[in-house]
Chain A
């Protein structure tokens, strides 16, 4: 028997490309967020409300990740925003290499903020660094209040939590305080926003926070 000591991270290749992406973003002065959640929590709707709010005052570009279709990119393109759709063809998450490749198809001139909408999935995307400055996790009230405890890694890696579909609370068995308490027990540093993409409640607060991060 002979033993070779290795001590190598399984995801070292992804991490290396993520570092390259991060260096590129930093050299161009672009702030990048990685938007993650389960499917149907309202990531794309939040993006739409965010683009409406900034209304070209802040130049934003978007990378959309989905298993199939370019529906989301079509929605974003209506806001005169540079957008690239990544179709993973079954892949359950975005990887740094996919972002690096997508950047070749995205006009980043003048862009201050790049939002990457990850594939809807609360498990796999938490493992993959894309080169973003921070992760933002969306949890909608329709998903219930226990998701932070069921999918802790995702909430631990995030800097902010958007609790979306807040307008539906009266119709649901979702305890908002329990949801927040659960999320903060996993990650006390989480900045929490409560939003509704229908009434636009909380969108200005979220956008102001985002903008202050972009400008800092």
Chain B
């Protein structure tokens, strides 16, 4: 259950990125998570909700963009996508390949609801 420690790291990043008095305005936290990052999005969501309940981040929710595992074949220059983690080119059988994406695990954006400030 390493998603719990990931959720705590995400909460730390939010606290470091948003002024303390605006933490309760945080609504959406956008993440990029690769299919081969070893993270279960539903578990992460569950853990984040659990640790942020009854804190200023209670209204924040995660918006997770799943990044497919994509590999570029250095021989035939084709790219291919799979969920398993195969890195051998299915077209030419080449083993000299480059993983282009699918291992991401990062916070990209934090969206705040600043409506109240504007109207007041």
| A interface list, Cβ under 8 A from B | 1-13, 92-93, 95, 123-124, 126-127, 149, 152-153, 155-156, 184-188
Contacts and interface: CB of A to CB of B under 8 A. Distances in A.
Interface string B86-113: 1110000001000000010111111111
Contacts of A188: 87-88, 95
Given A13-B12, A127-B2, 4 more contacts: A4-B110, A10-B31, A10-B106, A95-B5
Nearest to A5: B109
B18 A4 contact: yes
Nearest to B38: A153
A149 B110 contact: no
A92 B30 CA distance: 26
Contact of B84 (A11, A95, A149): A149
Given A1-B114, A2-B114, A4-B18, A153 B37 contact: yes
User: What 9 A-B pairs have minimum CB-CB distances, sorted nearest first?
Assistant: A152-B85, A188-B95, A124-B2, A4-B110, A153-B38, A6-B107, A10-B105, A9-B106, A2-B114
Contacts of A8: 13, 17, 106-107
B36 interface: yes
A127 B112 CA distance: 29
Given A9-B106, A10-B13, A186-B86, A124 B38 contact: yes
25 contacts: A1-B112, A1-B113, A1-B115, A2-B111, A3-B112, A4-B111, A5-B109, A7-B106, A7-B107, A8-B17, A8-B106, A9-B105, A10-B6, A10-B10, A10-B13, A10-B105, A127-B105, A149-B85, A152-B85, A153-B85, A156-B36, A186-B86, A187-B87, A188-B87, A188-B95
Contacts of A184: 88, 95
Contacts of B112: 1-4
Contacts of B111: 1-4
Contacts of A152: 36, 84-85
A104 B87 CA distance: 40
Residue of B5, B13, B18, B109 with highest tally of chain A CB at under 10 A = B5
Contacts of B6: 10-11
A124 B1 CA distance: 8
Nearest to A153: B38
Nearest to B39: A127
Contacts of B109: 3-6
Nearest to B94: A188
A155 B36 CA distance: 11
B75 interface: no
Contacts of B12: 13
Contacts of B106: 7-10
A188 B74 CA distance: 14
Contacts of A95: 5
Contacts of A187: 87
B85 A156 contact: yes
Interface in B13-69: 13, 17-18, 27, 31, 36-39
